[in-house]
């Protein structure tokens, strides 16, 4: 069992109060690591180190920062076995998936390195003769990055790569469920030769996270997490008027028209629902099916979900893995039970298996109503609700009748339906004849309670900048 220390100013630092906690494998409930818990004083020290480093980091040419990011990406790939091993043990993912996540994180790092020569300002006509208006894109300063448990390696680089290329430095707080992989990434920071203080990674509790996020030198807070976590971050941001970027909950609707390829739709939806046990903010959670094909699609979904094996992925990588914790499983099962009590039909799943590990079977519910909790609240687990619709107008009204607006899906061969949905869906993303995958050259941004700001692509990179207007009289 590895004991991980915190990473401040390119140094490994033990908790100054001796505090630590154990990390559990959700597939076996065994302890797989021990992590030093940073104190409030150490959180402050990390911000001070990042602020000091940022003064030099921002003065580097952007192409020099890009060279550092490319070296960092190479170091991530070189360490993919160590990163993947830590991630697989702490998350219940297969080793193959965990290593692939490290490679994908390196890919997005290289992508952001390519922006080095493309961070553009503007020249704007002035109303005054003999004068130019020049708009510059400048770094924010120190960015606090709060990382979720579900894709902790990829999301960590999804945040720090655009932050670094634009001249910021970062203090990272990984999820307490999955901190070990973050510290393996910290070793890649050293291997790549990034300057001290540019990247700092600390495990900490909520009180220490508040100290971090309310530090006057923190100019921006970026979070991927729940709506509740986002609300806390908004409270933190009020203290110093820090900029926020929040990627919060989702409840992806999939609309399946009568002319859709039902076999493909069923396979895609089941894959979306069972990947990482449904712990993905863009996973399909509610399916609206045109009445003419409702029974046919339900039959296919029931067959495929019932046959989908689950269990320890270190033994069988094709299995669906565990939920993150016992409390997560308890909460999901309680939601399913309340739905059944309210009249939903349980087609498959819906039971808590015996034995070690926080497993939950793929679960399918029909005869649900739009106003039910199971339809209106994010489950974040392998539970799927299916409802019928009549017309596309009806389907869009149901899909849009929701607090969340992150991703959405439409299966149809009719271009008119595609165009209408593209104009009327109330979500940041619409996928046609496929389920969400967050291409990193796109823009991943939620509507409604799904967030503020966004990640990925040019617009995600520019979230980490602020503008300066220079008015030059000549």
Burial of 118 (0-12, 13-18, 19+ CB in 10 A): exposed
Q: Tell me, yes or no, if 348 is annotated catalytic.
A: no
Q: Looking at beta carbons, which pairs linking 151-155 to residues 24 or more positions away fall under 8 Å?
A: 151/101, 151/276, 151/280, 152/87, 152/91, 152/178, 152/181, 152/182, 153/83, 153/87, 153/98, 153/101, 153/102, 153/105, 153/181, 153/182, 153/185, 154/101, 154/104, 154/105, 154/108, 155/224
Whether 449 and 428 have beta carbons less than 8 Å apart is answered as no
Q: Is 281 noted as a catalytic residue in this protein? A: yes
Q: Which of 145, 180, 213, 281 is catalytic?
A: 281
Place of tokens 């565990």: 322
As beta bridge partners, residue 72 has none
* HSE (side-chain half, CA atoms, 13 Å) at 241: 0
Please state, in angstroms and as integers, the Cα–Cα distance from residue 172 to each residue in 6, 146, 223, 261, following that order.
10, 6, 10, 43
Give the active site residue among 99, 101, 247, 347.
247
- Rounded to whole angstroms, the Cα distance separating 122 from 465 reads 14
> Which residues are known catalytic residues?
247, 281
């Amino acid at each position: 069992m590895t004991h991980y220390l915190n990473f401040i100013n390119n140094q490994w630092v033990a908790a100054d109060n001796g505090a630590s906690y154990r990390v559990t494998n959700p597939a076996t409930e065994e302890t797989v690591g021990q992590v030093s818990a940073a104190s409030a004083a150490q959180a402050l020290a990390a911000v001070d180190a990042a602020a000091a480093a940022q003064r030099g980091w921002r003065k580097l040419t952007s192409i020099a920062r890009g060279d550092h990011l490319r070296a960092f990406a190479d170091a991530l790939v070189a360490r993919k076995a160590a990163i993947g091993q830590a991630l697989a043990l702490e998350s219940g993912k297969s080793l193959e998936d965990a290593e692939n996540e490290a490679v994908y994180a390196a890919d997005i790092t290289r992508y952001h390195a390519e922006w080095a020569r493309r961070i553009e300002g503007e020249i704007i006509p002035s109303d005054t003769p003999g004068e130019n208006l020049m708009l510059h894109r400048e770094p924010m300063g120190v960015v606090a990055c709060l990382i979720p448990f579900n894709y902790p390696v990829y999301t960590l680089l999804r945040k720090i790569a655009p932050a670094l290329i634009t001249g910021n430095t970062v203090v990272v707080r990984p999820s307490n469920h999955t901190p070990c992989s973050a510290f393996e990434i910290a070793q890649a920071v050293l291997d790549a030769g990034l300057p001290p203080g540019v990247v700092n990674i600390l495990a900490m509790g909520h009180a220490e996270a508040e100290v971090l996020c309310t530090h006057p030198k923190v100019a921006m807070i970026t979070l991927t997490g729940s709506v509740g976590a986002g609300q806390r971050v908004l409270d933190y941001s009020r203290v110093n008027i820090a900029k926020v970027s929040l990627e919060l909950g989702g409840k992806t609707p999939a609309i399946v028209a009568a002319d859709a390829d039902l076999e493909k739709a069923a396979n895609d939806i089941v894959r979306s629902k069972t990947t990482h046990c449904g712990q993905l903010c863009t996973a399909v959670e509610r399916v609206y099916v045109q009445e003419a094909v409702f029974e046919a699609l339900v039959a296919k979904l029931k067959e495929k979900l019932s046959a989908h094996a689950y269990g320890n992925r270190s033994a069988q990588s094709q299995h669906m893995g565990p939920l993150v914790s016992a409390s997560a499983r308890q909460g999901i099962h309680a939601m399913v039970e309340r739905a059944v009590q309210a009249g939903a039909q349980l087609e498959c799943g819906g039971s808590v298996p015996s034995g070690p590990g926080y497993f939950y079977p793929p679960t399918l519910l029909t005869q649900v109503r739009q106003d039910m909790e199971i339809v209106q609240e994010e489950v974040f687990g392998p539970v799927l609700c299916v409802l019928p619709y009549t017309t596309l107008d009806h389907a869009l009204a149901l899909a849009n009748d929701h607090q969340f607006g992150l991703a959405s899906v439409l299966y149809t061969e009719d271009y008119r339906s595609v165009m209408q949905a593209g104009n009327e869906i109330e979500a940041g993303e619409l996928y046609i004849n496929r389920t969400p995958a967050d291409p990193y050259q796109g823009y991943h941004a939620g509507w409604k309670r799904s967030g503020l700001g966004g990640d990925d692509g040019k617009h995600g990179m520019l979230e980490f900048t602020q503008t300066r207007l220079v008015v030059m009289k000549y």
